[in-house]
Homo-oligomer: A and B are copies of this chain.
Amino acid sequence: MSRELRSLLAEAVGPANVLAGADASPDYAHDESLTCAPQTPAFVVRPGCTAEVAAVLRIAASRRIPVTARGSGTSLAGAAIARPDGLLVSFERMNAILEIDEANQVAVVQPGVTLTELDAATAAHGLLYPVHPGEMGATVGGNLATNAGGMQAVKYGVTRHNVLGVEAVLAGGDVIRAGGRFVKNSTGYDLTQLLAGSEGTLALVTQLILRLRPRLAHHAVILAPFADAHELTLAVPRLLATGLDPVVLEYVDALTMAALAHTEGLASAVHESAQAYLIVELESRTADRLDEDVVEVAEFLVAQGAAEVYPLDQAAGRRLLQARERALHTSKAAGANDLLDTVVPRAAMPDFLAEVQRLAADTGSYVVGCGHAGDGNVHLSVFQQDAETRQQLMMSVQRAGIAAGGSISGEHGIGVDKRVYFDALEDPLRMDLMRRIKQAFDPAGILNPGVLFDPVEAMR
């Protein structure tokens, strides 16, 4: 059976692109989740084109074999780990930038393209794909699956605001296209938007049309330590009300900054009396306007209670932002046991973060981190060895986030990791609708079973 399956798959994608056992690198068994155990799939399949993806799905559909898509395996929620009896469809060979269309300001790309590759290609045209989650090695296919966000979402939105169209293979092997090289569309239900954030449970995306923007020439970063973290979070909505339109608006707590100072050589950034730090990036078409805006933001932040305001030169600014992006790695290296990705209304952040600290103290845990302050999306590392205590703490934090008008995941997705919170806290009516949508797309439940929902009984 396994041998027959292998030969069918080899026919679909070529023998060199069906890997199993010792042939398959252990990398295929895991993603960047902190809590999911690695799982070796039955086969790793590496299709080279849409037709090959369709052929693989037809084989999987006819035998009800679970299928999990993988980009570069940077999921933080276990959404890119295949089932032991399943196929892992790796998009590593489908990594072509098919077109940078300047006139329509779109990129047409295959899902395996990484953000680093796309950034280089768009820069050559004076254009920008503005979605920059912390990991530039992530693929655009994975970004779509999780509806990835990142630091620049405060100005440019998340993946769903920057994907205009897709080609995708349905569970039965049919290929559909949706959307196109335009922003406006009112022609039936928006299937592109439905696939954004669907974590590989509805279809396998094989091509994306991404919206590009003019790449502005001038950037500046401002670092502002606050003696009072609460004052920092209060300053955030006020800064956004000015219309100064920052491209990045991040907070970093004192412990995380101390760690970054250590691991990233940022000692000069640490301010003795700071409880938290605000990082603001501005961008402009002209150097003069940028300078004016930097002065205006600096004065504004002082008025809002910043202990100091440091406008950084370009190199220092870039180093600080890169360090901020590596906060997750620093945290993992320090032994963090789990991650929170809660999103709350931005004005609810002060109270929510205070509540998190109370809950952490009550359970003898450390919860530290940083966050996309402009978007109310916090990334907190949870240090608590005891699994049961940790899960209770995380459940309480998530419940507090929802009570504050928020949601479980701002950008990492539910995957497998957050299923326990999703199942317990998500509105049952919403869950029921989601399940029906899943059934409409994938009645046999072969696409990423276990992610978002339990594997359907038919698959057992």
- Chain A residues with a Cβ under 8 A of chain B: 101-106, 126, 146-149, 153, 157-158, 160-161, 170, 174-191, 193-194, 196-198, 202, 213-214, 216, 237, 240-244, 285, 289, 341, 343-348, 372, 375-377, 405-414, 422, 426-427, 429-431, 433-434, 436-437, 439-441, 452
**Contact pick for A285, options B161, B243, B436, B440, CB 8 Å:** B243
Question: Which chain B residues border A377 with CB–CB below 8 Å?
Answer: 182, 184
**Contact pick for A184, options B178, B240, B411, CB 8 Å:** B411
Name the residue of chain B whose CB is nearest to the CB of A154: B183
Whether A241 touches B102, Cβ cut-off 8 Å, given contacts A176-B429, A182-B345, is yes
Interface CB pairs A-B, < 8 A, 18: A102-B237, A103-B346, A104-B345, A104-B346, A106-B345, A126-B241, A147-B186, A176-B433, A182-B344, A182-B377, A184-B376, A185-B197, A186-B409, A188-B431, A189-B198, A190-B197, A191-B434, A436-B441
Name the residue of chain B whose CB is nearest to the CB of A147: B186
How many chain copies? Answer: 2
Whether A413 touches B186, Cβ cut-off 8 Å, given contacts A181-B345, A346-B103, A346-B104, is yes
| Cα A189 to Cα B376 with chains together (Å) | 20
Question: Which chain B residues border A104 with CB–CB below 8 Å?
Answer: 237, 345-348, 376
CB pair B147–A185 under 8 Å, yes or no, is: yes
CB pair A184–B347 under 8 Å, yes or no, is: no
Q: A21 → chain B, closest Cβ, in Å?
A: 34
CB pair B182–A346 under 8 Å, yes or no, is: yes
CB pair B193–A193 under 8 Å, yes or no, is: yes
| Cα A185 to Cα B148 with chains together (Å) | 9
Give the interface centre of A188, A216, A345 by most chain B CB atoms within 10 Å. A188
| Cα A213 to Cα B154 with chains together (Å) | 12
Give the interface centre of A101, A160, A244, A412 by most chain B CB atoms within 10 Å. A160
Q: A257 → chain B, closest Cβ, in Å?
A: 23
Whether A410 touches B186, Cβ cut-off 8 Å, given contacts A105-B240, A194-B194, is yes
CB pair A187–B422 under 8 Å, yes or no, is: yes
CB pair A188–B102 under 8 Å, yes or no, is: no
Q: A400 → chain B, closest Cβ, in Å?
A: 14
CB pair A347–B177 under 8 Å, yes or no, is: no
Question: Which chain B residues border A186 with CB–CB below 8 Å?
Answer: 146-149, 197, 341, 409-414
| Cα A407 to Cα B191 with chains together (Å) | 14
Question: Which chain B residues border A216 with CB–CB below 8 Å?
Answer: 243
CB pair A190–B196 under 8 Å, yes or no, is: yes
Name the residue of chain B whose CB is nearest to the CB of A286: B292
Question: Which chain B residues border A243 with CB–CB below 8 Å?
Answer: 213-214, 216, 285
Give the interface centre of A148, A174, A411, A433 by most chain B CB atoms within 10 Å. A433
Q: A448 → chain B, closest Cβ, in Å?
A: 13
Question: Which chain B residues border A427 with CB–CB below 8 Å?
Answer: 176-177
Q: A342 → chain B, closest Cβ, in Å?
A: 10
| Cα A189 to Cα B194 with chains together (Å) | 6
**Contact pick for A440, options B105, B153, B289, B433, CB 8 Å:** B433
**Contact pick for A180, options B405, B411, B437, B452, CB 8 Å:** B405
Question: Which chain B residues border A101 with CB–CB below 8 Å?
Answer: 345, 347
